[in-house]
Amino acid sequence: MSELNHIHASADEAALHEQGNFTRRNLLRFASIGAATAAAGVIGFGEAVPANAASWSDDLGTLKIGYLPITDAAPLLVAQGGKIFKKNGISTAAPTLFRSWPSLVEAFQAKKVDVIHLLMPLALQLKYAAGQDIKIISWNHTNGSALTVANSISKFGDLAGKTVAIPFWYSIHNVVLQQLFRKEGLTPVFTGTADGAQKQVKVVVLAPADMPTALANGSVAGYIVAEPFNALAEVKGIGKILRFTGDVWKDHACCVTVVRGDLVKNNPAAAQAIADSIVAAQAQINSGRSTAAQALSDWGFLPQPVEAIQRALTYYPIGQYKTAIKNTKWSSRRIGFQPFPFPSYTAALVTELRKTQVVGDNSFLNKIDLKTVHSEIVAVGLAEAAIKKNGGNSAFGLPAKLARTEVIKP
């Protein structure tokens, strides 16, 4: 599989990736990098703006986008490639591709990138465990992930004694995987070898781009991750989908658009323009998914075969996924593009994370107030305003009243 140029994982990053340990202490060392960047004259979010700036766009400077090569990033990438950011008064540099979540977070902390898509559980960890001032602008997408397994695996019980990869400890993937384990009577272990007789499954962290190779060479028996890596396994014939995550937690969020908190505070017009651009990009994707898939390939943003990208955005026939789709009445998409961050989901995600085992200290989750967490981490109002500008609630399949009850059925 060909790949674009990317920032390689350092030894420190690899340790962060394995431990999932984004805390205030181990992120402090990145702050000096950000200070050096500012001293060099690079303008990014959160830095002092020129006193004589003529407009909010002058204050903003050039937007630097960071992303992983997954369809979760599609709204950011379409907003850039389709010149939607430009239309809304935002100057953008070419997006930077990163291989793993730690490398993306490190660059964000160092102010080498300004707006990113991020696993929502990881956003919670950054805010509440690492003390980072971040704000969620909107959801990037819903669903869009699956548990892909070797062709020899036919049911969940076959995973006992084997290894499954996740992209990060603080991810909806780890949450949903362990929801499924509890339903199926399996136990996750994180060290040593999984005991099949004890119905244990070893869970390891891998960068998404490394997962198909690991599945093909037998290093793992499966992986749960964002598209198009599940579709890629299907296209390449190296694996099959055992369960879609959106069929476990109905229309769950996975990645969200994140900026530094002081951007929202100091330049609210810019924050709204970013939200407007993301929502407009989602509307554009929804109006032509096949066209969007081809564009993401042609622009060079997603390095996977275009057949895999197309499949990820368009292919979800219930008749072909008789075991992977159990909740057939949900009428969900393989991946959905709607921007509204439901408060019910934010609170439910914290609740589910508290039940999810990770490597490292997750005690910060118990200190989060479920009543205030949404308003603390989400820039409330931006997505709502952007939705109104782009066709209204119905254009994104949203109810007239923006509220819902979370539905989880493993």
pLDDT value at 205 more than 90: yes
| Backbone torsion region of residue 352, taken as left when φ is above 0, otherwise alpha when ψ lies between -120 and 50, otherwise beta | alpha
Residue range 224-229: average pLDDT? 98
Q: Is the pLDDT of residue 4 over 90?
A: no
The fold for domain 1-143+255-410 equals: D-Maltodextrin-Binding Protein; domain 2 (3.40.190)
Average pLDDT over residues 388-401: 97
- Percent of the chain whose predicted confidence (pLDDT) is above 90: 85
Over residues 361-373, the mean pLDDT reads 98
What is the tens place of the pLDDT at every residue in 128-155?
Answer: 999 999 999 999 999 999 999 999 999 9
Residue 22: predicted pLDDT: 75
Lowest mean pLDDT among 47-51, 170-174, 275-279, 285-289: 47-51
pLDDT over 50 (residue 169) = yes
Residues forming CATH 3.40.190.10 domain(s) in the chain: 1-143+255-410, 145-247
Kindly report, residue by residue over 8-21, the tens digit of the pLDDT: 344 455 555 555 66
Mean pLDDT over residues 275-289, rounded? Answer: 98
C-beta separation of 396 from 339 below 8 A? yes
pLDDT of residue 17: 56
Query: Residue 123 above 90 pLDDT?
Result: yes
The per-residue pLDDT for 57 is: 81
- For residue 378, the model assigns a pLDDT of 98
| Packing angle, helices 101-109 and 11-19, rounded to 10 | 110
Segment 243-269 shows an average pLDDT of 97
Summary mean pLDDT of the chain = 90
Tell whether the model's pLDDT for residue 319 goes beyond 60: yes
145-247 fold: D-Maltodextrin-Binding Protein; domain 2 (3.40.190)
Nearest to 348 by CA among 403, 401, 400, 408: 408
Dump pLDDT digits (tens) for 46-95: 333 333 334 788 878 899 999 999 999 999 999 999 999 999 999 999 99
Is the confidence at residue 289, as pLDDT, over 90?
yes
pLDDT at 112: 96
